[in-house]
């Protein structure tokens, strides 16, 4: 039996988005979709439930995400399934399932819930939203630059201040093998001081120690050799080209030699955008990504270069400047008496087809109550239809917020047929850009 109090709360680490939070969420999502489309990306929709092997084999059995954080279970037929912890492996699965390896490149964006069983805290949830972008079949370093530039533009457009782009290269497979030897020799000296997880990973997956969340491991990792010194000529050139592209676009970045990212499928470029979460808190990643040239082949397809990234929408909601996010202005249409209600209904319907505003028709209470309700909704103005206005084909516009040439509380009578043009003129500044 479920305790009664459980019926009135969400599962730990999961939350509803209500009111302003939902509006901010919609706004961020709309901006991201718009920008991704402008860069030529198309929407792809993937299931939230996948075969567990898709993540276990590609993200890496030794990663925190796979070893500790997956929501996995057996279905009634005994299939091992998991709620997706991220979208890249699913996107490559979709590429293979839909037989698209011969129609490359594919530029995809997706958004939706991801699930990780981590310890919930500010900015870290068990169900969170990502907006992901995958450019599959992208070989040149310029693709990495374009993708990073898009992310930079999106974050700037959302008013995120103090965002830092951290950039690294973990090179190709050969470079990583050479680096692994050096790293192993270094960490082996501190074997007994490493956390139990890192001791276990020492031989199997040495690079993972670099992104350990344990403070003791992080201290040791600070003195570790840099992967940038182990890059072979090809990998070095690739990384230099990415840096040069970012410099050309004047996108500031910091090289972070410890940034190997928490998933195993990456090679060459890795990056994260980090930003402090208000009240002097520590920095948190609001987006991250990189190149994954080996993943399509690893999942059974042909050799296919690719690069991608994902934004954490929940974290961007915490970090963005909410005041700068404009939602569509609200206009209410009010009828004074019952005789005018059908005119009001028709006017509201007509305005919805002509104006980019939310047009609301309050129907309860008298005019005073409806005006009060309009103000509560945050309406920019109320259009009022009384007997006289209807007879003359007019409507009275009462400004509930100031507009150019019309102070708050002022009224103007206008021709009903011109109402849409009048509103667009008056509220142009409030329309989200
Ligand atoms: P990721 O770094 O694991 O990369 O996640 C991307 C973003 O999701 C993070 O930067 C963060 O903003 C957000 N995020 C991750 N975990 C949580 C959480 N528990 N609560 C709230 N937000 C979270 C990936 O998932 C890769 N698939 C990105 C990628 C795409 N690489 C190539 N293509």
Instruction: Please give the full DSSP string across 17-69, using - where no structure is assigned.
Output: --THHHHHHHHHHHHHHHHHHHTT-EE----SEEEHHHHHHHH-TTSHHHHH-
Local confidence band at 433 (pLDDT 50, 70, 90 cut-offs): very low
Closest atom of ligand 1 relative to the 284 alpha carbon? 12
* pLDDT higher than threshold 60 for residue 363: yes
Confirm or reject: Cβ of 397 under 6 Å from ligand 1: no
CA of 361 to the centre of ligand 1 (A): 41
DSSP 87: S
* pLDDT higher than threshold 70 for residue 1: no
Local confidence band at 279 (pLDDT 50, 70, 90 cut-offs): low
For residue 3, the model assigns a pLDDT of 75
- What are the C-alpha distances in Å from 342 to residues 302, 394, 414? 63, 14, 19
Confirm or reject: Cβ of 85 under 6 Å from ligand 1: no
Nearest to 321 by CA among 432, 165, 433, 157: 157
CA of 115 to the centre of ligand 1 (A): 10
Extract the runs of DSSP E, i.e. beta strands, from 99-210: 106-115, 127-136, 164-169
For residue 290, the model assigns a pLDDT of 98
Local confidence band at 366 (pLDDT 50, 70, 90 cut-offs): very high
Alpha-carbon gap, residue 296 to 98, rounded angstroms: 13
Confirm or reject: Cβ of 137 under 6 Å from ligand 1: no
CA of 316 to the centre of ligand 1 (A): 12
CA of 153 to the centre of ligand 1 (A): 18
* pLDDT higher than threshold 70 for residue 89: yes
For 354, the 3-state DSSP assignment is helix
CA of 288 to the centre of ligand 1 (A): 6
- What are the C-alpha distances in Å from 3 to residues 8, 46, 400? 10, 34, 47
Summarised one tens digit per residue, pLDDT across range 213-250 is: 899 999 999 999 999 999 999 999 999 999 999 999 99
Confirm or reject: Cβ of 289 under 6 Å from ligand 1: yes
- What mean pLDDT do residues 367-384 have? 95
CA of 190 to the centre of ligand 1 (A): 30
Summarised one tens digit per residue, pLDDT across range 290-348 is: 999 999 999 999 999 999 999 999 999 999 888 777 778 999 999 999 999 999 999 99
Confirm or reject: Cβ of 88 under 6 Å from ligand 1: yes
| pTM value > 0.85 | yes
Per the CB < 8 A criterion, the answer to whether 306 and 290 are in contact is no
Average pLDDT, the chain: 94
- What mean pLDDT do residues 248-255 have? 96
Confirm or reject: Cβ of 64 under 6 Å from ligand 1: no
Would you state the structure tokens that stand for residue 170, as one six-digit string?
A: 């973990």
- What mean pLDDT do residues 379-408 have? 96
Of 269-278, 320-329, 354-363, give the lowest mean pLDDT range.
Answer: 320-329
Ligand 1, atom 23: closest residue by C-alpha = 312
Of 100-104, 159-163, 330-334, give the lowest mean pLDDT range.
Answer: 159-163
DSSP 323: G
* Strand pairing class (42-43; 106-115): parallel
Confirm or reject: Cβ of 154 under 6 Å from ligand 1: no
- What mean pLDDT do residues 188-209 have? 92
Local confidence band at 95 (pLDDT 50, 70, 90 cut-offs): very high
């Amino acid at each position: 039996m479920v305790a009664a109090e459980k019926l009135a709360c969400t599962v730990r680490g999961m939350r509803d988005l209500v009111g302003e939070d939902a509006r901010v969420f919609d706004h961020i999502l709309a901006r991201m979709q718009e920008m991704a489309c402008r860069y030529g990306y198309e929407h792809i929709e993937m299931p939230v439930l996948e075969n567990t092997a898709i993540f276990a084999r590609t993200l890496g059995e030794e990663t925190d995400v796979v070893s500790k954080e997956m929501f996995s279970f057996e279905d009634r037929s005994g299939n091992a399934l998991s709620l997706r912890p991220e979208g890249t492996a699913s996107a490559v699965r979709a590429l293979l399932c839909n037989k698209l390896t011969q129609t490359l490149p594919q530029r995809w964006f997706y958004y939706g819930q991801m699930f990780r069983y981590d310890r919930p805290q500010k900015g870290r949830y068990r169900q969170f939203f990502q907006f992901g972008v995958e450019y599959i079949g992208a070989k040149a370093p310029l693709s990495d630059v374009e993708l990073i530039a898009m992310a930079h533009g999106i974050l700037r457009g959302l008013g995120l201040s103090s965002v830092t782009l951290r950039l690294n290269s973990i090179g190709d497979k050969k470079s990583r093998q050479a680096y692994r030897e050096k790293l192993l020799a270094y960490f082996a000296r501190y074997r007994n001081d490493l956390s139990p997880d890192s001791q276990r990973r020492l031989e199997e997956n040495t690079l993972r120690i670099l992104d350990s969340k344990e403070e003791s491991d992080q201290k040791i990792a600070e003195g570790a050799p840099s992967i940038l010194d182990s890059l072979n000529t090809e990998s070095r050139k690739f990384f230099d080209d990415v840096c040069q592209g970012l410099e050309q676009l004047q996108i500031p970045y910091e090289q972070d030699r410890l940034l190997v990212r928490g998933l195993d499928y990456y090679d060459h470029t890795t990056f994260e955008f980090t930003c402090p979460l208000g009240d002097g808190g520590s920095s948190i990643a609001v987006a991250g990504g990189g190149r994954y040239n080996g993943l399509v082949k690893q999942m059974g397809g042909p050799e296919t270069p690719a690069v991608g990234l994902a934004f954490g929408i929940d974290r961007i909601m915490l970090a963005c400047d909410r005041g700068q996010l404009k939602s569509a202005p609200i206009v209410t249409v009010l009828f004074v008496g019952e005789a005018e209600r059908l005119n009001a209904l028709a006017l509201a319907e007509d305005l919805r087809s002509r104006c980019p505003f939310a047009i609301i028709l309050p129907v309860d209470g008298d005019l005073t109550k409806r005006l009060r309700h309009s103000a509560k909704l945050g309406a920019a103005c109320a259009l009022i239809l009384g007997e006289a206005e209807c007879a003359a084909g007019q409507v009275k516009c009462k400004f509930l917020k100031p507009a150019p040439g019309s102070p708050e509380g002022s009224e103007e009578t206008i021709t009903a047929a011109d109402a849409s043009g009048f509103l667009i003129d008056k509220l142009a500044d409030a329309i989200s850009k």
